[in-house]
Chains A and B, each alone.
Chain A
Amino acid sequence: DIQMTQSPSSLSASIGDRVTITCRASQIISSYLNWYQQKPGQAPKLLIYGASSLQRGVPSRFSGSGSGTDFTLTISSLQPEDFATYYCQQSYSTPRTFGPGTKVDIK
């Protein structure tokens, strides 16, 4: 099975900050990497698919990059509604494993 790791596990940031979250796969997954945002009490929401494609309706301040084993989610200017937990997930093979999550909260 492919293992996914994320760093950091949590971070504190201010409105307007640039935030970067890293995800690493235990083996090469090409660009089959997706990012989700989850707010308390809500279902996850797909932000980025295929490592860098922005899901319809997601603000352009979110971007993704990477291929192979190392990937990055960037929020260019953090907004109040972006405080949440972010998960990466590989869709290269079954099981479709998720990373452990990165919680972004207010500094």
Chain B
Amino acid sequence: EVQLVESGGGLVQPGGSLRLSCAASGFTFGEYAMHWVRQAPGKGLEWVSGIHWNGDNIGYADSVKGRFTISRDNAKNSLYLQMNSLRTEDTALYYCAKDFVRSGFDYWGQGTLVTVSS
């Protein structure tokens, strides 16, 4: 059974940093691209960042470019999102999602909540 479990969310002040993690199991993690998607309270889905299976191809939404860094450790079956210079508008539930070979995201975690507030 595929499982994606996010962790690392919490309350942080504007300008602060957080590192999110996603632990994957039930599939060959190193063969798939992975993504972070966020959802602000009461709002829609926003793709944040994605990383190719080997880490070579990385993309970011304009809203986080230069502040967030995605990475992965295939030996540990883990995906990460380093978030720096956090803003109040980064407050959201952050989901980790598995790529379905450019056909959408077929598995999602339950999300980890990030709240940026003073």
User: Which residues in chain A, 12-55, are within 8 Å of chain B measured between CB atoms?
Assistant: 32, 34, 36, 38, 43-46, 49-50, 53, 55
Task: Determine if B27 is an interface residue (Cβ-Cβ < 8 Å).
Answer: no
* Interface residue SS majority, chain B: strand
Indicate whether A71 reaches chain B with its CB closer than 8 angstroms: no
Selected from A32, A53, A98, the residue in CB contact (under 8 A) with B47 is: A98
What is the minimal beta-carbon distance from A55 to any residue of chain B, in angstroms?
7
Tell me the complex Cα distance, A49–B106, Å.
9
Interface: B35 (CB within 8 A):
yes
Contact stretch, chosen from B71-79, B80-88, B95-103: B95-103
Residue with the highest number of chain A CB atoms closer than 10 Å, among B37, B44, B46, B109: B44
Name the residue on A nearest B107 (C-beta).
A46
Looking at chain A's contact residues, the main secondary structure is loop
B110 touches A (CB below 8 Å): yes
Indicate whether B2 reaches chain A with its CB closer than 8 angstroms: no
Name A's B-contacting residues (CB within 8 A): 1, 32, 34, 36, 38, 43-46, 49-50, 53, 55, 87, 89, 91, 94-101
Residue pairs across A and B with Cβ atoms less than 8 A apart, 10 shown, are A1-B62, A32-B103, A43-B109, A43-B110, A49-B104, A49-B106, A55-B106, A94-B59, A95-B47, A98-B37
